[in-house]
Amino acid sequence: MLTRIVAFSPTSYPTFTSLWNEAYPELKRTEFEMRLFDMSLPHQTSGRRWLAEHDGQLVGFSGYEPVEGDSPSEGKLQLHLYVTKAHRTKGIGSRLYEKVTAALTDGRDVRAWVRQDRAESLHFMAARGFVEQMRTFHSALEVAAFDLSSLEKYLRRLQKYEYRFRTFVDLATEPERNRKIYELYCTVLRDIPSPDPRQIMSFADYEKRISMSPELFGAYFIALHRDEYVGLCVLFPQGRATRELYADTMGVRREYRGRGIAQALSHCGIQYARRRGYSTIWADSFVENHRINVLLESLGFGARTEWTLFSKGRTSLKKL
């Protein structure tokens, strides 16, 4: 039978979610989480999807959505495209690609992440003029298996020299807490490699996030030396249906590096995960960020996969 490319509909969520999890086993979602994600997109930039149907079975999808953190008017678009292994090399991926690119008319650049061990996908992107921007490692730490005692020496030594390690909530009575953590957050972000210049939210937006989404600050760990905020570790829940955390941000001011602060902050984060019954902590790190990669390896983050970020300007999107 011929393969049909059909528009995504709400009734497609169960099967589409299953396909998504097959395409991105490291980024699994439940159907409920998929629906919540779609509802979170601004109406004017809502993601669009198409499905490949073969003999009554869904065998692939394509779609796009705003890149997280970019503004709706100027941000880039994230491209998704996947075909099940048994239905590849039949032109289905090309048809899905043509469908999604025909819908992109707003002039923005497009990005796509591809696992480095998927040779067919890498060739597919390169053949369509996409250019590699950077690579990241995706890895995981099994919380229960980690030996927390291996990091206790860093805490003990630093505490002797007037270092403190506190949560965001612990510091509620500290003068200028929000401003100091915001400034530390901005400093840390500027030192993390990025394919584009950093777009850092304003202090007003940061405080708005604190008031509107306090759950995002439940696993915020800060290293202080006397009254100065010198290091930061941020963990987020990976999803509603899993007992997993995502290591979003880790960094130490340059003048304080090499003292074991990152290791002490890691102790705080892993201890938090263990006490609350989380099974896994996931982390992404840019290949160029050698400091963090060495730290993650020393902590025992495994199951590593490498991902490549491809990009292409909208004006040349359809040119082969």
Is-same-fold flag (3-108; 139-307)? yes
* C-alpha of 201 from chain center: 17
As a dihedral over the C-alpha atoms of residue 261, residue 264, residue 269, residue 275, rounded to 10 degrees, the angle is -160
Q: Residue 32: what residue type?
A: F
Cα dist from 108 to 220, 225, 289, whole Å? 34, 44, 28
85/130 Cα distance (integer angstroms): 22
Task: Read off the DSSP letter of residue 50.
Answer: E
Strand 77-83, strand 110-115: pairing: parallel
Q: What kind of architecture, by CATH, is found in domain 3-108?
A: 3-Layer(aba) Sandwich (3.40)
The domain ranges of the chain are 3-108, 139-307
Task: Measure the CA–CA gap between 132 and 263, rounded to whole angstroms.
Answer: 32
Q: Are 182 and 205 in contact (CB under 8 A)?
A: no
Q: The pTM is what? A: 0.85
Local confidence pLDDT in tens for the 320 residues of the chain: 688 999 999 999 999 999 999 998 888 888 998 998 888 887 766 678 999 999 889 999 999 988 876 555 556 889 999 999 999 989 999 999 999 988 886 667 899 999 999 999 999 999 999 999 999 999 999 999 999 999 999 999 999 999 999 999 999 999 899 999 999 999 999 888 777 777 788 999 999 999 998 888 999 999 999 999 999 999 998 765 568 899 999 999 999 999 999 999 999 999 999 999 999 999 999 998 888 999 999 999 998 999 999 998 754 444 33
Bridge pairing between strands 302-312 and 110-115:
antiparallel
Domain 139-307: homologous superfamily in CATH:
Gcn5-related N-acetyltransferase (GNAT) (3.40.630.30)
* Cβ–Cβ under 8 Å, residues 307 and 159: no
